[in-house]
Structure formats: C-alpha cells, structure tokens
Amino acid sequence: MKIQPLGDRVVVEREEAQATTAGGIVLPDTAKDKPQHGKVLAVGTGRLTKDGKRRELQVKVGDRVLFSSYAGDEFKLNGTTKVLLMREDDIYAVVEG
C-alpha cells in the first residue's frame, strides 16, 4: 500500500527502540522508550499560505528526523509496518550523517 499525505503532513517510520541497556539488561516492551527519530517515507504537497500559494516542505523523502515522542498519529501499513502521520511543525530537526 502506498500512502500520500496531504498538505503539510509527513509520513515517518519510527526507528526501533533499543532492546538492551548499555549494561546488557534486556528490556521488556513496556519499559522501552519510544524513539524520537525516524525516516521520512512520504511528504505532502506543502502548506497553503494565506495568499493562496503553496510553500514546499523543508523535509524530503529519505531524511532522518527528530520529533516529539507524542507527535503524530500511528497507523499500520500492510498490516505490519507502523508509521506516524504528523504535521511538518511536529518535526524539530533533520539529522545528517
């Protein structure tokens, strides 16, 4: 299934949470923190400004981004892949390197 967000929305695949601590302790799913970074899978057409023009988004497909742990709404694609649908404003930064 392909997803195309509308307007200033972005589809992000959250990166996996760490399964063990630095000391080697295996964490159960309930103790894992939600990662606050992920990869952009799709972007919308941009925000519509007050003068009727469309402003392109600052992120693009393939960017690794940082966001709030509570940003966006989570959905399942193809029954298995979990993705977040969020507004561009929910993204704090693009991670390079």
Asked, for residue 21, whether it belongs to a domain, the answer is: no
Q: Which of 5, 9, 6, 13 is nearest to 83 (CA)?
A: 13
pLDDT digits (tens, 9 = 90+) for 56-70: 999 999 999 999 888
Say which residues have a Cβ less than 8 Å from residue 15's Cβ, sequence separation at least 6: 35, 37, 38, 39
Range of the domain at 39: 9-15+33-94
pLDDT digits (tens, 9 = 90+) for 35-56: 688 999 999 999 888 998 999 9
Q: What is the pLDDT of residue 78?
A: 80
Q: What is the pLDDT of residue 20?
A: 64
Asked, for residue 81, whether it belongs to a domain, the answer is: yes
61-to-30, 44, 52, 70 alpha-carbon distances in Å: 31, 10, 25, 21
Output the domain CATH number for residue 54. 2.30.33.40
Task: Work out the average pLDDT over 22-32.
Answer: 62
**Region class of 88: left (phi > 0), else alpha (psi between -120 and 50), else beta:** alpha
Q: What percent of the chain has pLDDT over 90?
A: 47
pLDDT digits (tens, 9 = 90+) for 3-19: 899 999 999 998 775 56
- How many domains is the chain partitioned into structurally? 1
